Structure 1
């Protein structure tokens, strides 16, 4: 009986040892297993980016673009800017409409979209943000994705990549599981890897050019394994040149979606000779051109190659 008081001490020591071991194990977990809330840079904050919810083409948004304020109505008929100068700029941008099949892309910023109005204005396809990294899912994805479908659009999903937070393989898996899957129904476009400026830190996410190419390769390889489709790559010529060394490793397999807010696509990155999609403005919503006929758009949504 005299030895009984030692038992609690042994238990406490064992628990302390286990706790220390548990902390050590936690610190060694890969990034995707221990998600954290990202810290938005000052530039990204000025563009309205919120933690965990960056928008496609955010770097091309003016600091006065008002992305910190969500549109209040479903029609998306109002600009994110205000005042006479903004109205003039909006009118000037609206005056340019490229030839080709037109569409839009949306994220949670747009909330409830009037899809019938978008179709009536000539928009025939849409891409909807599904995920970012491994810790963010667009809470409006289901309503936006199905809403565009029932309005008659060909639609697809996109993933905002954060290569510093987890592997390309893991992010592809999260994307496919949460909206990025594909079906050969003629109405579902292949998923998009949105790979661009980092709103949470270093432009190239702290990766070397070679490691960035490897990251993109891991994502696109896993996406194709899971869906049979080659993912579309959304980027800018400047970012792709800076962060991949203008790699040509994907130009023969992955369709390019180029972001350039101008009246021409300009110089294409990485060996691509054709921009399948071109995001040419964000006023009053991200607007895009498919660079061929509607029949070819349907082929893209149907043919797994």
Structure 2
């Protein structure tokens, strides 16, 4: 991925080398040509964590090149990450830009209700340049059935119009409570199937794309670019999942501050 004739300064070359090692572990040597070293080196490296990572060594993560992290705060209206305080506060103390995310379970309760639970349990936001906007994780139902016992394992048993209404309710409540629209984490396949290719959210909601490949690929309906890209799930150099921010470090801080 890094190029021998790349006219990068030493610090950027070191970052490119780090990205080579991460990409090599994730993608294999054959895929590295599709992920240019200089381009990746220019994008801040980050990760996301949950209770699976328990007490994270944030100094080590920072030393490995982490610039930002998203921390799971809540799920539905019944779960709070017991490690949230150590993870969220520890990341900030180590000098990482950090934010909180909510795992949505749309068949359990309305979007506004889950957003309220999220904001009350760590999903807030401050224009301090160190706090990322709240994020909502929208993906395949991991529990296999919807709340009524039906086979709603992909879209939680909701029709596209019901799903988009749920998302709008969640977004409106987060905006009311924090002043920011949430970042939407999703895959192109889930979004297009479960929202009916809705284009209603792209203008106001940054995209956190999940795609474990050498390139971002096709984006969910409506979005023309990604803000975060989760390109590897669980086995990279950083604790949790591996991510990139689609900009510079300065742009990351401005994004966090709402500018």
2:200 is the counterpart of 1:245: no
Give 2:120's match in structure 1, choosing from 161, 165, 177. 177
Residues 52-85 of structure 1: CA deviation (Å, up to 9, x unaligned): xxxxxxxxxxxxxxxxxxxxxxxxxxxxxxxxxx
Q: State the TM-score, normalized to the length of structure 1.
A: 0.69
2:75 is the counterpart of 1:132: yes
Distance 1:94 1:135, change over 3 A: farther
Give 2:216's match in structure 1, choosing from 256, 265, 285. 265
Kept in 1, the 8 Å contact 2:111–2:168? The answer is: yes
Give 1:91's match in structure 2, choosing from 4, 19, 25. 25
**1:4-153 pair list within 5 angstroms:** 91=25, 93=27, 98-99=40-41, 100-153=43-96
Structure 2 gap ranges (5+): 1-22, 146-152
Distance 1:252 1:137, change over 3 A: same
Distance 1:92 1:177, change over 3 A: closer
How far residue 90 of structure 1 moved from its aligned partner, in angstroms, is: 7.5
What is the match of residue 100 of structure 2? 157
Kept in 1, the 8 Å contact 2:100–2:122? The answer is: yes
Q: Distance in 1 between matches of 2:162 and 2:26?
A: 41
Q: State the TM-score, normalized to the length of structure 2.
A: 0.80
Distance 1:103 1:299, change over 3 A: same
Q: Distance in 2 between matches of 1:263 and 1:142?
A: 33
Q: Distance in 1 between matches of 2:26 and 2:244?
A: 18
What is the match of residue 228 of structure 2? 277
Q: Distance in 2 between matches of 1:161 and 1:295?
A: 30
How far residue 113 of structure 1 moved from its aligned partner, in angstroms, is: 0.8
Distance 1:117 1:272, change over 3 A: same
How far residue 300 of structure 1 moved from its aligned partner, in angstroms, is: 1.1
Q: Distance in 1 between matches of 2:164 and 2:246?
A: 26
Residues 191-232 of structure 1: CA deviation (Å, up to 9, x unaligned): 101010001122100100010000000000110000000100
Give 1:293's match in structure 2, choosing from 226, 237, 248. 248
Q: Distance in 2 between matches of 1:115 and 1:93?
A: 25
Q: Distance in 2 between matches of 1:192 and 1:270?
A: 18
What is the match of residue 179 of structure 2? 228
**4+ runs of 1 displaced by more than 6 Å?**
none
Which structure has more RCO (C-alpha within 8 Å, separation ≥ 6)? 2
How far residue 92 of structure 1 moved from its aligned partner, in angstroms, is: 5.1
Pick which of 199-208 and 147-156 moved more. Answer: 199-208
RMSD of aligned residue pairs (Cα, Å)? 1.5
- The alignment partner of 2:113 has SS state of helix
Kept in 1, the 8 Å contact 2:27–2:214? The answer is: no
